[in-house]
Amino acid sequence: MGEFGSFPDIIRAVTDVYGLLALTVLVIGTLAWKMNADAAPNVRAVIFLAILASFVLCLYLALTHNRGNKMPEPVPPAPEAQTGAAMLFPDSDRRLLTASDLAGLDAEQLRLARNEIFARRGRRFVDPALRAHFQQFDWYQPTSTEVALNRIEVTNVEAIRRAEAR
């Protein structure tokens, strides 16, 4: 579909507020066209152009509305660590960490807790110390420098970063 995406994107767009507005403009325009069947040709031409322009504008808005704010694709749960060995929070991909979870940790533990979220997803670390730390565990399988996180993991990374800043 080029710039506007796939057929499901178009269906979602038509059911969007602007898409419904475009359909409403089309229906009202059609009624206005029929009601002015005996009007002069130039009046009908103006009505037609107004209907067409309004419809195209609304359809464009429907197709581009919130385009940059699309929800990311859901990230599947991380593979279970075989033993949870040396993981500070083996469930940080499934539950939100609390302030009390993080309260007793020092700066290095917070750093490891934050990076174990990425390690669980297979992040390949540039930092030699992090790479060496996680490579000692069987569950760590580095695959990429950029890994996708689910919403819980993103929230936990942010919470740990705030704790590290204190």
Residues 97, 100, 101, 106, CA torsion sign: positive
Chain Cα centroid distance, residue 67:
10
Position 81 confidence tier, pLDDT thresholds 50, 70, 90: very low
Using the predicted structure, report yes or no on whether residue 1 has a pLDDT greater than 50.
no
* Diameter of the chain measured on Cα atoms: 84
pLDDT tens per residue, range 83-137: 445 689 999 999 999 999 999 899 999 999 999 999 999 999 999 999 999 999 9
pTM confidence score: 0.52
- Residue ranges of the chain assigned to CATH 1.20.58.1690: 99-165
Question: How many CB atoms neighbour CB 116 within 10 A?
Answer: 25
Using the predicted structure, report yes or no on whether residue 72 has a pLDDT greater than 60.
no
The CATH architecture of the domain made up of 99-165 is Up-down Bundle (1.20)
